[in-house]
Amino acid sequence: MKASYLRRAGYRGRLLVEGQRGVYHVMSRTSCGQYLFDDEGKAVFVEMLRKQAGFCGVDVLAYCVMGNHFHLLIAVPEDVDVSDAELMRRYRLLYSEKGCPPSSASPSVLAKVLEANEAEGQMLRERILARMHDLSVFMRELKQRFGIWYNHRYQNKGTIWAKRFTSVVVESSREALTTVAAYIDLNPVRAELVDDPEDYAFSSYGSAMHGSRKARAGYQAVFCGEVKWSELLPDYRGILYGKGMMSKGSIGKDQGRIAPERADRVLSKEGKLPLSDVLRARVRYFTAGTAIGSDAFLLSVGGQWSERHGLDRKRHAYPMRCAEWGGLRSFRNLQVDPVELTSLN
C-alpha cells in the first residue's frame, strides 16, 4: 500500500494476528549497523530475553544474536487471565527487592498491595498486566533494558538501536515455523562465523544442541506437537543442510552450498534452488514479506486486519519465488530480488 493511502485510512500499526496466539519473526539492528555485541553482550542479551519473555508471557521458539542485530521467532498469546500468584512469579523475573527502580514497586510491596485487594491494588495490577502479551511492549522493554545495561557497561550515551523493529507474521504450521527457524539458525553460517550452526553459542540451536531444555522446548513448539528432541532433530538438520542426520565434522564450509554463479543462472531461467541453499542466503521474504503462510492463513489475517482499520483494499497472497517453499506464500510480491545471491559466497 502507498503511504498516502495508509494515511487516509488512518493506518498506524503493524500487521498482527487478532484474537488468537500469533507467531512473529522479529529483527532489530543497532544504530548505523555498529558491531556492538561482543560475547559478553550477547550472553547478557540472551539472559534478558529469557526473563523479559517470561514476564510478558511470550514463548521464544528460536533466536540468534549477532554482532549488530538479532532475530527472534516468538509466539505471543492472546490475553489470558493471570492470577495474583502468577503475576508475582513473572514480576520477580525482572524485579528484586534491591534491584527495583524507584518508579516500580518492590515485589514485597506489590504482594501486600495485591493482597489488600483495594482500588490501588487493582490499578497497579492492571498497569502491570498491560505490559504482558503484547509484541510491541515486549520488544520495547527488551531493547530498553539491554540499552541501559550497555550504556552503563561501556560508559555510552544515547540509543544503541537504529529504529523500532521489523516483524513478519508467521503461520503456526510446521512448514512455516521450521523454515523461518532454520533461516534464523543459519545466520552465523551466512556470516561465516561458524561452519555448523550448533557451534554458535548465542543461538537457540546452539543452546539446544548443548543441552538447554528451554531451547529444545522451543523447537518442540516449532514442530507443532509433543515430539521428543531426539525425534525431531534428524528432520530439522535435514532442513538446515538439505540432507539427513549428519555427524559433527561431516559438514564442510562449502558442502551443500551452491555457487552464486550457478544460482544466478538457475534463477535467470525462473528456476528454483534447493531450499537449504536459499536459507543460507539473505531472504527478504523473512524481513519484508509482512506475513508468511498458506493462502487461507494470509487471507484470514489480512481480512481481519483490514476490517479492524477500515481498509477496503483486499490483500493478496503471492507465491514465494526462487525455491520450493512447500506451498508458503507472502503478502508482498517483492519487486527486488527476494534472495540476495551475494550472501551465498
Do 67 and 102 belong together in one domain?
no
Q: Are residues 116 and 222 in the same domain?
A: no
Residue 205 and residue 315 in one domain: yes
Structural domain contains residue 1: no
In a domain, 45, yes or no: yes
Whether the pTM exceeds 0.95: the reply is no
Q: Is residue 12 part of a domain?
A: yes
3-state class of 204 per DSSP?
helix
| CATH number assigned to the domain comprising residue 173 | 3.30.70.1290
> How distant, in Å, are the alpha carbons of 7, 10, 111, 255, 270 from that of 263?
40, 42, 60, 15, 11
- Helices (H) and strands (E) in the chain — how many of each? 15, 9
| 111 and 217 within one domain | no
- Domain final residue, candidates 70, 100, 131: 131
Q: For residue 17, which of 330, 301, 224 has the smallest C-alpha distance?
A: 301
C-alpha span between 142 and 41 (Å, rounded): 13
Q: Indicate whether 152 and 178 sit together in one domain.
A: yes
CA-based end-to-end distance of the chain? 34
Q: Is residue 58 part of a domain?
A: yes
Do 63 and 170 share a structural domain?
yes
In a domain? residue 2: no
Helix (H) or strand (E) holding 220: helix 213-222
Q: Do residues 143 and 267 share a domain?
A: yes
Same-domain status, 121 and 184: no
Quote the pLDDT of residue 306: 74
Q: Domain containing 95: what range?
A: 84-131
DSSP assignment of 230-284 equals HHHHHHHHHHHHSSS---TT---TTTT---HHHHHHHHHTT--B-HHHHTTSEET
**Residue pointed to by grid coordinates 527478504:** 284
pLDDT in tens, the chain (345 residues): 343 333 333 444 678 887 788 999 999 999 988 999 999 999 999 999 999 999 999 999 999 999 999 999 999 998 778 999 999 999 999 999 887 777 788 999 999 999 888 888 889 999 999 999 999 999 999 999 999 999 999 999 889 999 889 999 999 999 999 999 999 999 999 999 998 999 999 999 999 999 999 999 999 999 998 789 999 999 999 888 874 334 444 444 444 444 545 545 544 445 677 788 888 888 989 988 789 999 999 888 888 777 776 666 566 788 888 888 888 999 877 666 777 755 544
- Indicate if 252 and 335 belong to the same structural domain: yes
Q: What span, in angstroms and rounded, lies between the C-alpha atoms of 13 and 5?
A: 14
Where helices occur in 95-212 by DSSP H, the ranges are: 107-116, 119-129, 135-154, 174-185, 187-190, 204-209
Q: What Rg do the C-alpha atoms of the chain give, in angstroms?
A: 21
Provide the pLDDT for residue 117. 81
For residue 107, tell me if it sits in a domain. yes
Q: How far is CA 172 from CA 25, 27, 61, 159, in A?
A: 12, 18, 11, 34
Statement to judge: residues 113 and 200 lie in one domain: no
Secondary structure of residue 57 in the 3-state scheme? coil
Q: Are residues 163 and 30 in the same domain?
A: yes
Residue 233 lies in a domain: yes
Count the domains in the chain.
2
Q: Does 113 lie in the same domain as 17?
A: no
Spatial distance between the Cα atoms of 93 and 85, rounded to a whole number of angstroms: 13
Evaluate whether residue 47 is within a structural domain: yes
